[in-house]
Amino acid sequence: MIEHGQGPIVGQTPEMLQLYGFINRLVDMPTNVLITGETGTGKGLVAAALHYNNRNGRGAKPFFTVNCPGIAEGVLESQLFGHAKGSFTGAIKDYKGYFQAAEGGTILLDEIGEMSPHLQAKLLQVIQQRVVFPVGSNTPVPVNVRILAATNRNLEDEMSKGTFRQDLFYRLNAFPLELPPLRARIDDVPLIARYIIERYAQDHGIEVTGISPAAQEKLKLYDWGGNVRDLENVVERAIILRGAGEIQAEDINYDWTSLSQTTETTERRQERTIYDILKETERSCILTALANTKGNKNMAAKRLGISKKSLYDRINRLGLGKKKIVKNSPSDNLADNVSSEGNGSGTLAKVWTFTEITSTYDIPLGSFTGFMQRIGVRKVEKGRYEMDPEQEKTILETYGRRTHLLR
Ligand SMILES: Nc1ncnc2c1ncn2[C@@H]1O[C@H](COP(=O)(O)OP(=O)(O)OP(=O)(O)O)[C@@H](O)[C@H]1O
Ligand SMILES: [Mg+2]
């Protein structure tokens, strides 16, 4: 387990022990590190560990995560490298970008595979010459920043397509760290699940005290396509379902893809008709998909491999709609929250691009991802987020409206 100032990286499998060995060797070096791995494998966590554990003073300096996709190239350029007063309409004073603001610290360039060729060239210059040229300025500013980059894309493919510069790849890839998917370290699943429960108990004062051995075994059956983030969703849902005491196997509801692996006994299955079983499975799949997508029916339908219309039909047929619901089961309440439209007409939620959000609200870039996650905004796809009016209101109240492009 490695502490990083925001929480530990949990895991004791040989794969993780090897990773800790690499991290320990890398923390005190200025080396650029390319962190690769599927979504939810902990790339952000590892980057933070590399920064905060540094013992040469860097760990006490700023650590910024810059989310490359979805930001208009010009805006990202200013945000990274800064700009000079008057360099474009709205540039009312000199602006220090992240590279200057992070002086002495670390920048994580997240989803680096999405960076435009122009910015790739500018980044290469920073790495090679250790200076930045703010937009509209010919005066180089020396910078000392450690660059970490993360991606869940295969950059070798991007290079062969010509969308990622080879010279930049080799500079960033001074040390590659590949994070294994959770299914390749399945023995860590119970450990991480217990950690999630503990953290929940501390943060939210819940009365769930632990997880039964059978439930821990059940967790090991899943293939965890969304990795630790998926595991967090499943365990959080189990915590809510259980309410108090020890999580049991029946509280663990995998999503659609893994329900066939349910540990239900053959005897119990034989007491019911196949139609009962199918109906129950269908119901459970739908509730789980809705819970895992925080009620986003488009995404839930996608996960279930059915059309949105078919999802509505099933919600109605199974009585999961608002009025027909049988109360007192937490899983029913989930459907209650999410299936009120019934007829398939759109919800009040609206899809925004990253740029639309950041040009409307004054959210600091470094806080964007964390804040959006905290208020439950769904990332529909890369750079596109689904927000409801309540969430918009929360952003407005927290950060206010943007009055000018950049400060
Ligand atoms: N080994 C671990 N121990 C404890 N928590 C973990 C571990 N790995 C990941 N997490 C948690 O899982 C979630 C996802 O991790 P993180 O955001 O670092 O993944 P990522 O690889 O950056 O994903 P993405 O590619 O989607 O950005 C976070 O809440 C993180 O704290
Ligand atoms: Mg990440």
68 pocket-lining for ligand 1 (C-beta < 6 Å): no
Mean pLDDT throughout 30-53?
A: 94
What per-residue confidence (pLDDT) applies to 380? 85
pLDDT at 2: 55
CA distance 385 to 380: 5
Tokens describing residue 41: 């494998």
Q: Tell me the HSE value of 373 on the side-chain side, using a 13 A CA sphere.
A: 8
For position 218, what pLDDT does the model report? 92
Pair 282, 317: CB distance under 8 Å:
no
CA of 140 to the centre of ligand 1 (A): 36
End-to-end alpha carbon distance in the chain: 40
Measured in Å, residue 51 CA sits from the centre of ligand 2 at 15
pLDDT digits (tens, 9 = 90+) for 276-321: 666 777 777 787 787 777 778 888 888 888 888 888 878 877 767 5
How far, in whole angstroms, is CA 124 from its chain's centroid?
27
Question: Can you give the pLDDT at residue 101?
Answer: 94
What 309-318 contacts at long range (C-beta under 8 Å, 24+ apart), as own/partner pairs, is 309/344, 311/286, 312/339, 312/341, 312/342, 312/343, 312/344, 314/282, 314/286, 315/286, 315/339, 315/342, 316/342, 318/279, 318/282, 318/283, 318/286
> Comparing 113-117, 243-247, 392-396, which segment has the lowest mean pLDDT?
392-396
Ligand 1 proximity of 229 Cβ (cutoff 6 Å): yes
Q: Is the CB of 43 under 6 A from ligand 1?
A: yes
Return the residue whose CA atom lies nearest to atom 24 of ligand 1.
39
Is the predicted pLDDT of residue 337 greater than 60, yes or no?
A: no
Average the pLDDT over 389-402 and give the result: 79
Distance 86 CA to ligand 1 centre (A): 40
Average pLDDT over residues 60-68: 91
In sequence order, the 6+-apart residues with CB closer than 8 A to the CB of 155 are: 34, 36, 112, 113, 164, 169, 173
The pLDDT value recorded for residue 255 is 57
Q: Which ligand is nearest to the CA of 6?
A: 1
DSSP helix/strand/coil, 81: helix
pLDDT top residue among 306 and 256 = 306
Which range is least confidently modeled, 170-174, 323-327, 347-351?
A: 323-327
Average pLDDT, the chain: 81
Q: Which residue has the higher pLDDT, 220 or 360?
A: 220
- Is 113 a pocket residue for ligand 1 (Cβ < 6 Å)? no
Q: Mean of the pLDDT values across residues 156-182?
A: 93
Q: Return the ligand 1 atom nearest residue 179 CA.
A: 21
Q: Is 48 close to ligand 1, i.e. is its CB under 6 Å away?
A: no
Lowest mean pLDDT among 12-21, 78-87, 276-285, 375-384: 276-285
- Given a cut of 50, whether residue 196 has pLDDT beyond it is yes
DSSP state of 181: P
Q: How far is the CA of 33 from the centre of ligand 1 (A)?
A: 17
Question: Which atom of ligand 1 has the smallest separation from the CA of 231?
Answer: 12
Closest protein CA for atom 30 of ligand 1: 42
* More confident of the two residues 333 and 353: 353
- Whole-Å CA distances, 353 to 78, 350, 382: 19, 10, 9
